[in-house]
Amino acid sequence: MKYISTRGEAPSLSFEDVVLTGLASDGGLYVPETLPKFSKEEIASWAGLEYRELALKIMTPFVANEIPEADLKNLIDKSYDSFRHEAIAPLVQTGHNEWILELFQGPTLAFKDFALQFLGHLLDYVLKKRDQKVVIMGATSGDTGSAAIEGCRDCENVDIFILHPYQRVSEVQRRQMTTVIEKNVHNIALEGNFDDCQNMVKASFADQSFLPEGRQLVAVNSINWARIMAQIVYYFYAGLALGAPHRAISFSVPTGNFGDIFAGYLANQMGLPIEQLVIATNSNDILHRCISDNDHSKKPLIHSLSPSMDIMVSSNFERMLFDLYGRDGAQIKKLMEDFKSGSMVLSDEALEKARELFSSYRLDDNETIDVIREVFEKTEYLLDPHTAIGVQAARETRRSSETPMVCLSTAHPAKFPEAVKQAGQTEDPALPHHMSDLFEREEAYEVIANDMEKVHGFIKSNINA
């Protein structure tokens, strides 16, 4: 299988090359030239498969013949061995035909573990085969960083540098990153917001001249195709558990960068019958404004109780636009240039096509706290603030009560004690046993000004020979 850029001017690449490349040379994002399609009969035959077995079925077509099936199976098995729950992605019922898909059972208590545990093992496999060393540079609004570090801490051929916005992630999120004391792990607290971190990473990929000879940057953010690919699996897993393909399923997804919900869109394109995908946002609601009012304009970023969604530039939305505009790279390039100036407007045709599958809703912090309190009072189930937004967005926009609605729970509530306390809990939610000493561990991170030259200087001086 070949991969092409959303802007149409970069060369097509193989799977392994796309994993190591990240952003395309024309500034676009790589997507498969064609998507694999599964028949209703084939999907039905997967009912009852264990999560790892299902992952192998879904990922194999994307990898084609580049990784032998036995090796891919081994990579998948190792990736999910560190998950605490035997089901990997368990479902919990919280209402009539309303389900929570717990995606926080991995080592860093966030859905990012599904993709980044796999990506870490995949990178190790590819780099050893090529006898190559790389530098990972990533931006995080909270969860990507810790999951990437956990996935790559033992990679011999990787130096990893993660930028997080200084004092704009929760203490648990920060400590999950900064207490990993390994010679190849480096944390940068950037004096800015998440979009500043993301913009610096994108600019660094465009000009990698600051790196030593023979090194290249590799992306761990959701611009990396392998992450999206791994996330498709749990949509099929939840769907099969609730009666697909013989009945349609709906999903509500708390999202900022559009990667997680884009994986759901791909699952639908590949044959999973999805009736509705709900884009759930906090006050940083550019995606909700776009779907509801065709207002995709930048506004000042608001620091919220759901910091992983404090994003105004949703990178993966470009992949969606590529399909909405008939895979016309020239039109996408023009849209992205418009957006760089502050705003872009979708065509009526593209917006209508998006609304066939997508709905959207936004909640502010006060509404989020109310949902956490209400759900706990009724069910004794404790939501993190991101999941709470997903639950309420589903309830407000649901098209059919007869269709199962699955709300993706993207993080463990222990990562966001401030929101949980404001919702009326008298004590911080307990961290799982393997993380119970988190607040006693040594931390290491560098606070750096929002200055490209200073960040590049720090990276260059800390790359291992």
Question: Comparing C-alpha atoms, which of 299, 294, 265 is closest to residue 282?
Answer: 299
For residues 389 and 372, give the distance between their C-alpha atoms in angstroms, rounded to a whole number: 9
Give CA separation, 115 vs 228, 258, 427, in Å: 7, 14, 31
For residues 207 and 188, give the distance between their C-alpha atoms in angstroms, rounded to a whole number: 19
Is 361 in a helix, a strand, or coil? strand
Q: Which of 112, 133, 202, 333 is catalytic?
A: 112
* DSSP-assigned letters across all residues of 137-154: EEE-SSHHHHHHHHHHTT
Catalytic site residue 112? yes
Amino acid at 181: I
Is 447 in a helix, a strand, or coil? strand
End-to-end CA distance of the chain: 34
256-287 in b/e form (b: 16+ CB < 10 A) is: bbbbbbbbbbbbbebbbbbbbbbbbbbbbbbb
Tokens standing for residue 4: 């092409």
Residues with catalytic roles? 112
